[in-house]
Amino acid sequence: MAGGGADWNAYNLPAIWSMIQPENACAGADRVLSWLNLATACRDQHRRLLAARADLAEVWPPESNASARVFMRQLDLLAASLDQTLTRAEDTRVGLQGVFDAIGAAQATIRPLAAERAVVSDDLIPRLLDHAEDGYDERARQAMREAEAAIGEHGTQIRAPALYLLQSDATVRADGLPEEAGPGASAGGGPAGGTLRAVPRPVAVPHDPPAPSAVPGPAPGPGPGLAGVAQAPPPPAAGAGGAALPPPVTPGAQVSGVAPPGLVIGAGLGLPSNAAAIGRAGAPGVAGGLGGPGAAARGSGVALRGASGARRPLPSGAVIGAAGPGGGIGRAAPVPALGGAGRGAGTGDGGGEAPAGAVDQRWGVPVGVAPVIAPDTAEPEHGPGPGVIGLDR
């Protein structure tokens, strides 16, 4: 069967198990039984139709009636199509049974592997040392390769019947069946060439495999705690206590990613409200991204608009996120850097005028500042360390 196989090397066992675990063998068995019942019912109907036709032929013999031949030919076409439909239904039933058998075999193989792998995944030995999970992954991949091959093989038995149509004699094939719908047939299977045909209703084909790059591994939980290592506390909630996280999105809030005019992103948190770097006209200039105490890098922000509301391109030489030390209170720079003084916020003149300075102007950088951290001048000692218990060196 044509169609490329999946790259199973891109999936590990948990990903593979997530694919086939939802396969419902009971639902599959129900559908197989439905096809079987359908084929049986079609066969009974076909038999009754032929019997009725034979009875009619006795009283209206086509051998001696051209009019009867016209009528009987159409009945024969109906019977032939019904016969093909029931034959294809039987074939489809067999093919579908094979597909579900293949899936069931894969499930039976992979289910215990998934359980065993979960055990070795949770032990204390990391995967990079023992590679315990790799063997399970490969066995699962092999099971899926076999299942895929079996599905492809059984899938060839799934065949659609030719669409039934009442048509002129000129297009009737030698075997009495209507022509197979070819590429030239009408897209919807509707009337074509002066004939009426059955119009199929499209069936959705669910196909939503996980992306290979999104292979689900073991649950990314916190893992076992290390002795003596304190767990990092969760990030503090935004509030007046100095946290510098962006505010949560509240109903009705603007979520399109565009800040309101005059707002400095990242500012306003951890600072008194009256000190937030809102670039209002006439407001005292507050430079920098304005993180509050301990705001660190989050304090730096992007001054989108000042009072004038006009957005400007980033001038050459500007530094995104440049702010004061630690991203805290920055300094008003001649050329407003994004994250530095916002427009209308630098000088506080309220005029919304362009700050002084020329394009491509280089900033002065303080030099000769004494370092805060100095290297340790003590001579290090590289001894072998204490001996193992009972084996002194």
Partner 1 sequence: MVIRLGSGGGEGGMPHGVEVGTAQVGEFAKGLRLEADSGFAALAERGADLHRHGVVFGASIPGGTVLEVKNRYARALADTEANLRAYRRAAVVFADVAERIAREFASVDLASAEAQRRVDGLLRGAVAQADAALAGAAPPGGKAF
The answer to whether 291 and 298 are in contact (CB under 8 A) is yes
293-311 CB burial, b ≥16 within 10 A, e <16: eebeebbbbbbbbbbbeee
Please report whether residue 188 would count as binding partner 1 according to CB under 8 A. Answer: yes
**Tokens linked to 263:** 């707002």
Q: Rounded distance, CA 342 to CA 337, Å?
A: 8
Sorted by sequence, the CB contacts under 8 Å of residue 136 that are 6+ apart come out as 13, 113, 114, 116, 117, 120
Residues of span 56-95 touching partner 1 by CB under 8 A: 56, 58-61, 64-71, 73-75, 78, 81-82, 85, 88-89, 92, 95
Q: Are 235 and 245 in contact (CB under 8 A)?
A: yes
The yes or no reply on residue 354 touching partner 1 (CB under 8 A) is no
In the complex, the smallest distance separating the C-beta of residue 85 from partner 1, rounded to whole angstroms, is 5
Position 33 contacts partner 1 (CB under 8 A): no
- The stretch near partner 1 (CB under 8 A) out of 20-28, 286-294, 356-364, 384-392 is 20-28
Q: How many residues bind partner 1 (CB under 8 A)?
A: 102
Residue 165: beta bridge partners?
Answer: 197
The interface with partner 1 within residues 194-223 (CB under 8 A) comprises 194-210, 212
**DSSP assignments along 296-314, one per residue:** GGGG--EE---TT----PP
Closest to partner 1 by CB, 138 vs 153, is 153
Q: Where are the alpha helices (DSSP H) in 63-131?
A: 66-121, 127-130
CB of 193 or CB of 315, closer to partner 1 = 193
Examine residue 127 and tell whether it contacts partner 1 (CB under 8 A).
no
Determine if 236 is a binding residue for partner 1 (CB under 8 A).
no
- State which residue, 89 or 323, has the beta carbon closest to partner 1: 89
Interaction mask 355-384, partner 1, x per CB under 8 A: ------------------------------
Q: Which stretch binds partner 1 (CB under 8 A): 36-44, 240-248, 272-280, 385-393?
A: 36-44
Residue type, 174: A
